[in-house]
Structures are given as structure tokens and as C-alpha cells.
């Protein structure tokens, strides 16, 4: 390990530079063997397994130098720490920013233990082992440091050869200090990241506490016992009754939705039927008018048939100028006679009838 001179430490004890003699000698003899950023084929290792054993000197870098990609023979080692309880998107976004601060960076993430967290911040939902594993499976993390210190010490920074510390710029007051990162900022090793608004572990816990009854009923419905949920007998019965009421409400809601769908389908079908009826009625009226209208085919056919019937019942008359039969002048109209004798003419003799017949025959002979 490189030896630090007295001038190589800041007022807070954080190393700032190495002696020139030792730096030149070490650079010529020793090459960097620092771990490289991991691939995504396996979870991130713990610091105890791959602690940086590189003996080459780690010269102090400025943020400008790190942004330019120097040094070229090793990655820039960036450290971020936290509790990471109920690991959420805000945590992941902060780690993404820390990972992408420089072109070639190696991100170490320190996770505080349950003992420190309960002492300085409060009780956690996830235990330390669960929080460690959550960090190991984040794609931006290259190495996880378990039981990280609450306040960073020079020994800790030197042990892990940390170049920069990434955290949001809001002063973090804890453990009797107004800002636990004050000495890091003074040493020029602090790189700020942006917080994600609207999401935090405290917000998630607040939602659960606010809607406690809802989540208690949810877990009872999923098979958890009242003892596991620390729910009293009365509350258990109340929650189960509320679950039954909710089920009935859901059934009623489903029936209403289905009835609405049925009514909508009936309305659509009735609309289609009305349209078809209107089309058929227009077609029927048009055909009726074609047959029975003023100029319809039925009128013409009726007129033709009535004309034929009139011709059949009333034959044609003879022409007016046709010759008529003229009576013969020689023939005289046949005399009229009466079969019965008149009352005024008495019978002259019993031979009257025979005499009259003979007189008629004589008259005919005279005409001839």
C-alpha cells in the first residue's frame, strides 16, 4: 500500500495526494489490478469477496479529470451508501446517476446494518440480509459493502480506494451532525445526484399505514391468519364481513355492466331493424306507386281490359250510308184483323165465321 506523507492529508484526515518519490517509484514498478465493472450475468459480489487488493497508488482525481476518462488504466471508484429499505425506483435512479457520472466507473454501494439503522433512523421493514440481496440484483451496482459505516472515515475511504462519494445534495443531519457528508464535500470528493420526487420508503410506509384496513383484508383474503397479521378476533370478523360485502358489490357491478352491454346490443339491433324496416317500407311504397299510381302499370292494364270488355259487350254498328231495304209499292200492308168479334157488330148468321175466312182468301187471290 502507498505510504501517505503528512502533507498528503486534509484537515479532516482524508488523503489528498501521495509523496512524489513514492508515486514515481510505484508507477514504474506496479500496475493497477482494480476490479473492473461487472457483467450482468451474475449478481454483484460482496466487498469481502473481491475487496480491492491493488497495490498501485491511487492518485487523487478531480471531477474534471474523471469526466475526461482519466486515469485510463483503471475505473473511477464511486461510492454510494444508504439504507435501501423497500428498494424502489428512487433508489435505482440514484444508483443509475452514480454509475453514469463518469465514462468508466466502478460503483460500490454501502448498506448499513440493522443495528445502525435502528439506532440512528428507525425500524426497517426489510432486514439487512434482504436489503443486501436487493442491492446485489441491481444492474448498476458493481460491488456491495455490508455493514457500512454511518459516517465515512478516512480509513474506510482508503481501504476501499474510493475516489468519489455520490449522494443527493440535501444536507443529511444525523448522529449529532448537521451534515454527515460535510467533510467529504470539503475534500472535493462529493458528487451530487438528484432525488426522485414522489417516491420514498417513508411514502410507501405511509400508504400502508393509511390504508391499513384495506391491506389487512387483502392478506386475510389471500390466506393469512389473523394471528400472523396481529389482528384481533373482532377485527378479523369485521374484515371478513367487509370482504363478503365487497364481493357482493362486485357481483352487482358485474351484473350492471352486463345488463348495460345487453341493453346496448339490443339498442344496436333495434336500430338496425328500424333501418331495415325503413328501407323495406320505402321499397314497398315505391313498388306500390309503380303499380297503382297515376301512371302505374296497373292503371294501363285496367284500361286495356275495360276497353276489351266494352268491345266484347257492344258490337260495332253498321255504317250510316249503307243501303236500306225499300218496300215494294205493289204490296200493300197486310190488313189488320181481330180474332175476336167486336161487341157492336152482331152476328148476322151462324155461318159468319166461315164466310169471313172465305172473304179473306178471296182478297188474297185478288192481290195476286
Question: Residue 71, preceding bond cis, omega within 30 degrees?
Answer: yes
Contact 8, 30 (CB under 8 A): no
- Cell numbers for 112: 448499513
pLDDT at 365: 46
CB atoms within 10 A of CB 251: 10
Which has the closest alpha carbon to 45: 146, 152, 153? 146
How many Å apart are CA 212 and CA 209, to the nearest integer? 5
pLDDT tens, N- to C-terminus, the chain (368 residues): 333 333 344 555 565 544 444 444 444 456 666 777 887 888 988 887 555 667 667 788 888 888 888 777 889 999 999 999 999 999 999 999 999 999 999 999 999 999 999 999 999 999 999 999 999 999 999 999 999 999 999 999 999 999 999 999 999 888 678 899 999 999 999 999 999 999 999 999 999 999 999 999 899 989 999 999 888 889 888 888 888 888 888 889 889 888 888 888 888 888 888 888 888 888 888 777 777 767 667 667 777 777 887 777 776 665 555 555 545 454 545 554 444 444 444 444 444 544 444 444 454 444 44
Sign of the Cα pseudo-torsion (245, 248, 254, 258, in order)? negative
Strand, coil or helix: what is 126?
coil
Contact 22, 3 (CB under 8 A): yes
pLDDT at 12: 53
Distance set, CA 359 to CA 289, 342, 355 (Å): 80, 18, 6
Contact 81, 43 (CB under 8 A): no
How many Å apart are CA 211 and CA 226, to the nearest integer? 17
pLDDT at 27: 44
- Cell numbers for 166: 455520490
pTM of the entire predicted model: 0.60
Four-point Cα dihedral 67, 73, 74, 76, nearest 10: -10
Amino acid at each position: 500500500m502507498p505510504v501517505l506523507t503528512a502533507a498528503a492529508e486534509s484537515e479532516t484526515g482524508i488523503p489528498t495526494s501521495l509523496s512524489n518519490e513514492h508515486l514515481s517509484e510505484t508507477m514504474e514498478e506496479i500496475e493497477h489490478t482494480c476490479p473492473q465493472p461487472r457483467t450482468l450475468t451474475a449478481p454483484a459480489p460482496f466487498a469481502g469477496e473481491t475487496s480491492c487488493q491493488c497495490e498501485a497508488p491511487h492518485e487523487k482525481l478531480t471531477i474534471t479529470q474523471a469526466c475526461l476518462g482519466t486515469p485510463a488504466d483503471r475505473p473511477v471508484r464511486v461510492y454510494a451508501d444508504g439504507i435501501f429499505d423497500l428498494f424502489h425506483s428512487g433508489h435505482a435512479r440514484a444508483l443509475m446517476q452514480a454509475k453514469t457520472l463518469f465514462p468508466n466507473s466502478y460503483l460500490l454501494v454501502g448498506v448499513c446494518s440493522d443495528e445502525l439503522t435502528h439506532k440512528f433512523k428507525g425500524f426497517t421493514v426489510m432486514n439487512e440480509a434482504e436489503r443486501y440481496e436487493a442491492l446485489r440484483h441491481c444492474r448498476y451496482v458493481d460491488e456491495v459493502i455490508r455493514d457500512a459505516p454511518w459516517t465515512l472515515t478516512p480509513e474506510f475511504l482508503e481501504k476501499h480506494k474510493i475516489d468519489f462519494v455520490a449522494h443527493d445534495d440535501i444536507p443529511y443531519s444525523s448522529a449529532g451532525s448537521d451534515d454527515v457528508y460535510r467533510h467529504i464535500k470539503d475534500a472535493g470528493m462529493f458528487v451530487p445526484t438528484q432525488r426522485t420526487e414522489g417516491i420514498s420508503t417513508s411514502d410507501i410506509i405511509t400508504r400502508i399505514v393509511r390504508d391499513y384496513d384495506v391491506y389487512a383484508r387483502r392478506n386475510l383474503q389471500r390466506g393469512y391468519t389473523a394471528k400472523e397479521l396481529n389482528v384481533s378476533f373482532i377485527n378479523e370478523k369485521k374484515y371478513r364481513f367487509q370482504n363478503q360485502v365487497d364481493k357482493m358489490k362486485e357481483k352487482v357491478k358485474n351484473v350492471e355492466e352486463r345488463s348495460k352491454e345487453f341493453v346496448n346490443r339490443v339498442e344496436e339491433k333495434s336500430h338496425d331493424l328500424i333501418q331495415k324496416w325503413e328501407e323495406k317500407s320505402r321499397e314497398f311504397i315505391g313498388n306500390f306507386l309503380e303499380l297503382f299510381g297515376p301512371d302505374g302499370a296497373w292503371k294501363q292494364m285496367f284500361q286495356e281490359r275495360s276497353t276489351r270488355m266494352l268491345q266484347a259487350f257492344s258490337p260495332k254498328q253498321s255504317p250510316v250510308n249503307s243501303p236500306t231495304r225499300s218496300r215494294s209499292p205493289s204490296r200493300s200492308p197486310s190488313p189488320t184483323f181481330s180474332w175476336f168479334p167486336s161487341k157492336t157488330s152482331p152476328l148476322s148468321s151462324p155461318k159468319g165465321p166461315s164466310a169471313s175466312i172465305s172473304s179473306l182468301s178471296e182478297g188474297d187471290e185478288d192481290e195476286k
